[in-house]
Amino acid sequence: MRRIGELQPAPRSVGAKPPRGVLLAGPPGCGKTLLAKAVAGEAAVPFFSISATEFVEMLTGVGAARIRDLFQRARAAAPSIVFIDEIDAIGRERSMGGDGLNVEWEASLNELLVQLDGFDEASHVVLMAATNRADMLDSALVRRGRFDRHIVVDLPDLAERVAIFGVHARGKPLAPQVDLEKLARRTAGLSGADIASVVNEGALLAARRRQQTIGVGELEEALDRVLAGPERRSRLRPDEERLRLAYHESGHVIVAWMLNLTSIVEKVSIVARGHNFGSTWHVPKEDSQVRTRSQLQAEIASLLGGRAAEDLVYGEPSSQAQDDLRQATSIAREMVFDLGMSASLGPVLVDSGQEILARSDRAGGSVAEAAEREVVRLLETADGACREVLTAHRDELDRLTHLLLERETLDRGELEAALVGLEAQPALEAR
């Protein structure tokens, strides 16, 4: 990276104005603060870092005074970089009224806006800020001329996760059998901070086991700990509950296997971890942010597979399906309210945050009511698909359940051996 002043040609020579502010937005743990520090280090200029929460005080005027002092010091040390972490603490959208704390917060925000307007080409001060909630920021703060660059620091893709594993594994004695790319494929959706935690947890496990190297087993266990929590083998369960749990997790596996999801079942376990009595881990076939309607419907069916298996075998579901239902309902609501994937409503974006009274559907109710009915229909359709799959493959369900009950945990190779000959069917069609 070039130092400030080494850029050729200089921006002014072509009539360009350097950006005043850079907003880094993205999920937690993706390296926004680290990126800002790296920019300051590469630019070789003074770096003033502060958290936005330090500007918020009950005493009126304290926050605004701190902002003025910060920018005065930055201008005195120019060229320099000012970095404000968690800027949403003072930069969120303003509203009318409020208590004394809100008055002080708004005064701090107004002072920050004034200071940003005070930047000129000769000040040589750049403001960088980071937030996890860019949608909450005040429009006056994020407009062009204040924050000229909006940079999304998103969750890493496969190649980036492999590189991050390499960074955190540097200097650690990894066993020759460790395949960082295979680990990276299992960590889709994890942030850089999560990956760092996986490597460190693997090192701790190796140390506890008095090993000289960090092996595959330690890193796999560390990943399971990060994803689902530590094992709780001390929590003994009655044999009947363990059998029901094995049917529940096997139902997830069979439905996911048959509906040809965009992910592959990597492992299934009936060992309690964290708040979960059992777990089924999926690995995406490829890193993709785009999912079709049929793929989302198949994902809902996979989540409902455990509940459907219990209902098929025991005649009724249990409380073990609570988290599955929450996730399945969330996906169904997203499809109907946010993605326009309702067959009956058509390509309509239903804003669930506003009351909809003007439009009516053919049944005479509001659009919001029709959308809620469509959510229920999607869930019922997915539940029906689960029952069809599990009824048709009851023998495989029983066989996998008893194998899982015997071994407690099955990896992908063991699942493929247990379900050999079971061919996936086309993805669930929209109905």
Catalytic positions are 249
Q: What number of other Cβ atoms are within 10 A of residue 361's Cβ?
A: 17
Report helix, strand or coil for 33. Answer: helix
Answer for the pair 282, 220: CB distance below 8 angstroms, yes or no.
no
3-class secondary structure per residue, 188-252: CCCCHHHHHHHHHHHHHHHHHCCCCCECHHHHHHHHHHHHHCCECCCCCCCHHHHHHHHHHHHHH
DSSP bridge partners of 411? 267
Answer for the pair 339, 348: CB distance below 8 angstroms, yes or no.
no
Amino acid letter, 301: A
- How far is 52 from 72, CA to CA, in rounded Å? 17
Answer for the pair 245, 270: CB distance below 8 angstroms, yes or no.
yes
Q: Compute CA distances 276 → 376, 390, 405, whole Å.
A: 26, 23, 16
Report helix, strand or coil for 134. Answer: helix
Q: How many residues does the chain have?
A: 431
Strands 149-152 and 21-25: parallel
CA torsion angle for 301, 306, 307, 312 (degrees, to 10)?
100
For residue 244, the number of C-alpha atoms closer than 13 Å in the C-beta half-sphere is: 17
Angle (nearest 5°) at CA 393 between 387 and 395: 125
- How far is 181 from 132, CA to CA, in rounded Å? 28
The phi, psi pair for 317, rounded to 5°, reads -80, 180
Strands 263-269 and 409-411: antiparallel
Tokens of 295: 């793929």
The phi, psi pair for 151, rounded to 5°, reads -115, 125
